Amino acid sequence: MSSLNLDDFTDLIERPDGGVRRDAEARRERQIVPPGALGRLDELGEWLAAAQSAVPVRTVERPRVVLFAGDHGIAGLGVSARPAGSAAELVRAVLEGGSAVSVLARRLDVPVRVVDMALDCPPDAFPEDVVRHRVRRGSGRIDIEDALTPDEAEAAFRAGVAVADEEADSGTDLVVLGDVSVGGTTAAAVLIAALCGTDASVVTGRGGQAIDDLAWMRKCAAIRDALRRARPVLGDQLQLLATVGGADLAAMTGFLLQAAVRKLPVILDGVVAAACALVAQRVAFRAPDWWLAGHDSGEPGQAKALDRMALEPLLEQGVKVGEGVGALLALPLVRAAAALAAELPEKAPEEAGEDKEKAAEQADEQADE
């Protein structure tokens, strides 16, 4: 019998420090650039200060991209522009430095970690540090069978928890979270539709390589059929991941929850990360306070999930490639917010006093009106 109790995360996860956030807001009001003049950068700096429990906020010095990888049996129905079982090619490109995320990571000086959870290739195809958490070779075809057995789902979830602990223990101070998968957006759409109580057509997007209309219809039908299998297990998040998720999605969910336990901020990438975040929110309602939505990929399922979690994307560039690229593009924005919050000088005491008097006068005038 399993010893894993997801309800424990509700007690373990705390919100970012509200008192520290108020201190950060007060410090921001004393800085020479007027509050509000930096737009959302003010909010980001204050959020990061609360997550770090530090005023002034510490700059982001040791970020890391973490990508969970897997193949999904549902890709065999032609729901993806890539052939089923080809995620290993994408992983190889990341590791060899030839992918979009690799190029950006080099420019931004951010290390990339790939975690193989269910690639459809021999386990010796990649180094030990990539494959050591692997649960199985490919996840099941979710329209007619479970993605994972209960034991595999638990093992994948625990692997995600372990990876979060490894990152926190190594000094990583912010994670850019993404996936490398084929068929993963289909599984993600099923999870989102199930948890949001909506129809398949509402969450069915065209994936990273813009599938044609016929493939979109196949994908929509696959999501519809998988939804029928998902609805009876909605009350059990681990069983839901086993039924219509996959090893990479179960691991990402565990990672997100444990990152929140460890107070490790996370930038979410696309629809797959959003789906896992939505499952994690069902487990522990405070967990989303530790996450940022990196970007709007244009996938309808992602928009639905982020709206349900009240997370507003930082960027809207329409990046659909996955692999953490869109979220990594948001990292400089977060770093800029931290640097401004930490390094902008404060006003001279007499100037601050004048500002307080003006604010008091304006308050009196509004009261008279």
Q: Are 114 and 177 in contact (CB under 8 A)?
A: no
Count the Cβ atoms, other than its own, within 10 Å of residue 14: 12
Catalytic entry in 316, 323, 343, 351: 323
Do residues 39 and 112 both lie within one domain? no
* 26-51: burial string, b at 16+ Cβ within 10 Å, e else: ebbbebeeeeeebeebbebbbbbbbb
Do residues 136 and 93 both lie within one domain? yes
Which region holds residue 358: left if phi is over 0, alpha if psi is between -120 and 50, else beta? alpha
| Peptide bond just before 56 cis, omega within 30 deg | yes
- 70-89 average pLDDT score: 93
Strands 63-71, 266-268: pairing is: unpaired
Task: Show the tokens assigned to 319.
Answer: 């990046």
- 319-345 average pLDDT score: 93
Q: Is the pLDDT of residue 369 over 80?
A: no
How far out from the chain centre does Cα 350 lie? 44
Do residues 307 and 221 both lie within one domain? yes
* 144-199 per-position pLDDT tens digit: 999 999 999 999 999 999 999 999 999 999 999 999 999 999 999 999 999 999 99
Note if the pTM is more than 0.75: yes
Say which CATH number the domain at 73 has.
3.40.50.10210
- CA 202/CA 333 separation, integer angstroms: 31
Q: Is the pLDDT of residue 88 over 70?
A: yes
For residue 3, what pLDDT is reported? 76
Do residues 221 and 265 both lie within one domain? yes
Task: Show the tokens assigned to 272.
Answer: 């797959």
Report the SS3 class of residue 90. helix
Do residues 282 and 199 both lie within one domain? yes
Q: Are 362 and 66 in contact (CB under 8 A)?
A: no
Structural domain total, the chain: 2
Which are the contacts of 128, defined by CB distance < 8 A and separation ≥ 6? Answer: none
Q: Is the pLDDT of residue 351 over 60?
A: no
Do residues 103 and 227 both lie within one domain? yes
How far out from the chain centre does Cα 272 lie? 8
For residue 123, what pLDDT is reported? 87
Beta bridge partners of 302: none
Query: What is the dihedral sign for C-alpha 300, 90, 327, 143?
Result: positive
Do residues 326 and 344 both lie within one domain? no
Do residues 148 and 87 both lie within one domain? yes
The answer to whether 167 is a known catalytic residue is no
The residue range of the domain holding 54 is 8-58+340-368
